[in-house]
Structure formats: structure tokens, C-alpha cells
Amino acid sequence: MRRFMIGLLAVATLATAGSAQRTGQPLSGPKPGLIRVRIVTSEGPIILALDARHAPQTSANFLAYVDDGRFDGTDFYRASRQKSAPKLGFIQAGIRTDARRILPPFPLETTAMTGIKHLDATISMARGMTPASAGGNFFITIGPAPAMDARPGYPGYAAFGHVVAGMDVVKRILAKPTGGGMDAFKDQMILKRVALVSARRLDGVAKPTGLPRAWLIKTRPDRVR
């Protein structure tokens, strides 16, 4: 009887784990220093763990976008695949250049400062040419990307967490057909929209910035007189 009960418990545990993986839910609760965020996409959910202990400013910036709803209704718009290994690379998402959603810039927290390297399933901030230009766009790596880490003479990118569930979704997005784009984006723009439906924190209390949410303001054309 004892062996039978142990067998039932094992089956129940495996069923729970399988269900969690299918729904994109993490198997464990919150951990000190980590803040989980659930991103719902048109391809399925992705759950992130932000390392607020080691990358406090970058995590705070990302959470500000989350808590304000600034990511809601945007897209995963870029899939950058390695030519020699097309199942590896990164996907990129966020507000693009939508000035209605952007928040003030913040200092770059380099990998040398945080110790968070660009390994497989890392989330990091996209940015322009200047180090402090990161804001409302981010990327997730599939496979390690050490070239994005800081090194002498090169600040790199600000990694600030990792995916804890939903890497199957991330890989599906990476495999989407791409084309268009210019310069570094050439042939990397996802051709069929992958929506970022919503982003919500799973740990702690939301702290909206209180800044205007101009993208929600509906405008109507002038009436013809």
C-alpha cells in the first residue's frame, strides 16, 4: 500500500510539472532578489525573473514599463538568427520608437558591474549607439551571446534577468520568417506580427510612474464643415 501511495504521488508531481510547463507557469515561487514578470504573447506566455539585486536600475526601468502598461499592445518584431546555427540568436520586443510610450533614460549597468552575463535565456536591454540609450526595447537570447558582454573599450548591453518558463515560445518566435530592415536589422524583421499582448509582474506590488499614457488617448479626425 505504501509503495502504491508513493507511486501516486510521483505521478501527481509529474502531472503538475507538465501542466506548469504547458501553461508557462514557473514551478517555484518568488526568490529573494528576483522579481517575476509574465509576458503574454500571441505565441504563448513567457515568464521572466528580473535580478533586481544585481541590476537594480535596469530592473526598475523594465518594471516601470510593465507597471504602466507601456509594453501592452506592442510586438516582438525582430528575430536575429546566427547564420551558422539558425536555432541560436535572439528575439527583440518593445515599443520601438514610439515616443508616446518612452520613459526617461537611465545609466547603463554593464555586465562588468552586475556580473550578469549573456547566457542562454538571458533578458537584456536593447539600445542605440550611446550607452545610456536603453529604454523600452529588450531582447532575449537563445544560446550564449558573450559578444554582448562588456569588455575593455566596449560597454556591451545591460543583462538583467533570465527566462524561467516559456523558452519554447521564445524559440518559436526566433523561427518566424523574417525580411526587410536596414543595417543591423537587415533581413531580421518578423514578417507576420507576433503581438506582445500584456506584461504583468507576479511578485510585489505594481508601482505606476504616474506619467501620461499618451498612447491610450484616442484621437478623431476633424469634422468636415
**Buried-state track 120-151, b at ≥16 Cβ within 10 A, e below 16:** ebbbbbbbeeebeebbbbbbbbbbebeebbbe
CA atoms within 13 A on the CB side of 33: 7
pTM of the model: 0.85
CB-hemisphere CA count at 13 Å for 76? Answer: 31
Mean pLDDT computed over every residue of the chain: 88
pLDDT at 1 over 80: no
212, with CB counted inside 10 A (0-12, 13-18, 19+), is exposed
Q: Residue 12's pLDDT is what?
A: 41
Say if residue 175's pLDDT is above 50: yes
Give tens-digit pLDDT for 136-163. 999 999 999 999 999 999 999 999 999 9
Handedness of CA 74, 76, 30, 146 (dihedral sign): negative
User: What residues does each domain of the chain span?
Assistant: 33-205
pLDDT at 211 over 70: yes
Asked if pLDDT for residue 10 goes beyond 70, the answer is no
Instruction: Please report the beta strands in 59-186, taking only residues with DSSP state E, as ranges in sequence order.
Output: 74-81, 89-94, 122-125, 137-142, 158-165, 178-179
Class of domain 33-205 (CATH, top level):
mainly beta
